[in-house]
Every structure is written in structure tokens, then in C-alpha cells.
Copies of this chain bind each other. A is one copy, B any other.
Amino acid sequence: MAEDPGTRERILRTAGELFQRQGYHATGLNQVLAEGKAPKGSLYFHFPGGKEQLGAEAMSRGGAAVAEKIMAAMADATDPVDAIATAIRKLADDFVASGFRAGCPVATVALDVAADSELIMVACADAYRSWTALVTGRLIGWGVPPERAEGLATVAIAAVEGALVLARVRRDPAPLREVADRIGALVAAEAGPT
């Protein structure tokens, strides 16, 4: 019965969205509860760790969701350039659709949580690690020399993250599209013609 996702789920989902748009400190638990239509006292039942736990779980969720998108985009592509370009372009489209507000779900929180919470930072680090691993694996599959694959994956992810920041500030998806082109080329160059 795919009925009510449950209070806990609703809270977590709402929190994730708000954190992504507004950041961690700018998002009040009251707002989360109000938008998630959750009763006030329930939060500490489902999340005894309070806001910190909520943030950490939201990061895990967000990280996993992005990982799935990465997999979906790269899974059956055989041409690196196409795969990367279409993946990033899809990301750009989603971003525009959100009104230039929904950037990377992890970066926004990671930057303003900083040293406040080790728990959340670990969740963010895990997210990045999983994405890198995913991309690295795919790059190797495309013929990139294993010893160079992780570095290349890191650069690719960094470029996308940075482009999301630029795009958000400028309210313009162009940086994402530029990155889509150049990073595709970079990968192609390393994937090796011969």
C-alpha cells in the first residue's frame, strides 16, 4: 500500500528540500514542520538527534538521489562525451525548472555547516565519495587508465559543482552547459582514441 509516506518520511523530505534551497542555518525546524504538515512534538520522536540528525539524514538521502541520477545517466551510454553531456544537460534543465534555486543538495549544506557538526560533514563527504567512485568506475569502463580515472572523476564533479554555484548566482544555466562541453572533451581526450 503506497499510501501515506508517513510522518517521518514527510519531515525528512521537506527538510531536504528546504536545506537544499536555503541552507542549514537559514532553515528553521518550525518551517520544516509547517511545510511538512507534521505535528511539532513528532520531530524529536523520529529524530532524537534533533536538527543535526535531520541534516545528516537529509544529506544521505540527497547524496543517494544524485548517485542514482548519475548511474541512470551513465549506465548504458557507450560514448563518454554523449553520456557526460546529456547527464549535465539534464541537470541543467532540472535546475532551471526549479527557478534556479535547487542547486546541489549537498554543497549548500556542507558550506554553511562547516565545523558545526561532524556528523553532517561525514554524510556530505560520503555523498561526494560515492559519486566519485561511481564516475571513476564508469571512466575505467570507457578506457581511462585506472591510475588517472579518480583524478578525472574528481575534476568532473568539481566542475559541475562549481558550475551549479555560478549558475545559481547568475540565474543562468550557461555555466553548466559550458562545463558539459569541455568536460566531455577532457574525458574523451583521456579515454583515449587509440
State A112–B116 Cα separation when bound (angstroms): 15
Separation in Å of the A119 CB from the closest CB of chain B? Answer: 13
Partner of A165, one of B113, B155, B158, B178: B158
Give per-residue flags for A152-187: 1 if the beta carbon is below 8 A from chain B beta carbons, else 0: 101101111111111011100011001101110110
Task: Report copies per complex.
Answer: 4
Instruction: Indicate if A95 sits at the interface (CB-CB under 8 A).
Output: no
Separation in Å of the A88 CB from the closest CB of chain B? Answer: 11
Partner of A154, one of B151, B178, B183: B178
Q: Is the CB of B114 within 8 A of A23?
A: yes
Q: Is the CB of A155 within 8 A of B159?
A: yes
Query: Which residues of the partner chain B approach A166 to less than 8 Å between Cβ atoms?
Result: 128, 154, 157-158, 161
Partner of A107, one of B125, B165, B175: B165
**Interface core residue of A159, A161, A183 (most chain B CB under 10 Å):** A159
Residue of B nearest to A104 (CB): B165
Give per-residue flags for A116-131: 1 if the beta carbon is below 8 A from chain B beta carbons, else 0: 1000010011001100
Q: Is the CB of A128 within 8 A of B182?
A: no
Q: What are the nearest 6 A-B pairs in CB distance?
A: A23-B112, A162-B162, A158-B162, A161-B162, A25-B25, A25-B26
